[in-house]
Chains A and B, each alone.
Chain A
Amino acid sequence: MNQEFDLETALRRALKREQPSRDFAGRVLARTVVRRRQAATRTWMAIAAMLLVGLVIAGGVRRYEVEREAQAQAQAQKAGQDLVLALRITVAKLHATHRMIRRRSNGV
């Protein structure tokens, strides 16, 4: 019984209403402002990081496209030169064949 009484007294003492210190509201407000600023900074940093990553990716993709286009251009130019060379050889051989046939038919 005595023990229960002691517990009740202790609880009442512990849960007794106390007036906050005078600068409590100010301190809470100040901390809230700081937290808001920190959150805003973090958001902006995240946005900046995302933009930077986006820029890096876009730059990489553009560079890849430019390189691929240049490669395709060079490949097409080489193919064009090869094609002309192949045609020149073919035409030369056909002309030589015609000359040989003509020579034979003329009995030269």
Chain B
Amino acid sequence: MGFKRRLALWLSVFGIISLAASGLHAAPDPADLKDLDGGVFAAFAAKASNTVEVNLEGTLLKMGAGFISADGDEDAAKIKKLLAGLKSVTVRSFEFKTKGQYNKTDVDAIRKQLKSPEWSSIVNINDKETGETTEVYVLANKDKPGGLLIICAEPTELTFVEILGAVDISDLSAFNLGLPGIDVNSKGKKDGK
């Protein structure tokens, strides 16, 4: 076998290995709520009487967690522990004064963009009596929780929550609504500990 042929063979083997390796790494990231079409959210916000928009990730998330005072409070300490494993927290919530202020097709469009194959549906409730639809998805990351996605469509309220990172749904559910003990007005520790 000539040198040129051997070189071509090695180059093709190297190329195939590189392609395979890049293919292994090219697992698509789940769709990010804040990267979605802002036009639909803007349309919801225009009609909503109350809008909540939260985008927290990286340093900002650490800063926020660092500002939560957990001194001597068991629940707050648990929340801080839970927050330590998170990558990002994104919330879009819209409250409407009356029913029929948003199109269900717009919600479907957002659902379609968010629902990548990485998300596994664990709850899908469609209450015809109340007109409420609730969907809960989880993202598995090598048998560990990798994220949580909640889509709640009520007649006068629309909520999208996306939490990426090591979030345990049972840990979150165990907290009370008031999340007592969290004092964000006091000066927290800057290092995020």
Contact = CB atoms under 8 A, between A and B. Distances in A.
B123 A101 contact: yes
Nearest to B150: A93
A96 B173 CA distance: 10
> By DSSP majority rule, is chain B's interface helix, strand, loop, or mixed?
mixed
Contacts of B178: 88
Given A80-B64, A96-B134, A100-B125, A87 B79 contact: yes
B68 A97 contact: no
Most A CB contacts (10 A, CB to CB) among B65, B148, B184 go to B184
Given A84-B184, A101-B123, A101-B125, A93 B68 contact: no
A85 interface: yes
A81 B190 CA distance: 15
Contacts, number: 108
Contacts of A86: 54, 56, 89-91, 161
Interface string A66-101: 000000110111011111111111111111111011
Contact of A75 (B63, B123, B173): B63
Interface string B156-191: 000101010000010011011111001011011010
B177 A77 contact: no
A13 interface: no
* Interface range for A: 20 to 34
B60 interface: yes
A90 B123 CA distance: 14
A98 to B, nearest CB: 6
A5 B30 CA distance: 110
A104 interface: yes
Contacts of B150: 90, 93-94, 97
A75 B177 CA distance: 25
Contacts of B123: 97, 101
11 contacts: A76-B67, A77-B185, A79-B64, A80-B184, A83-B184, A87-B179, A88-B177, A91-B175, A92-B177, A93-B134, A100-B132
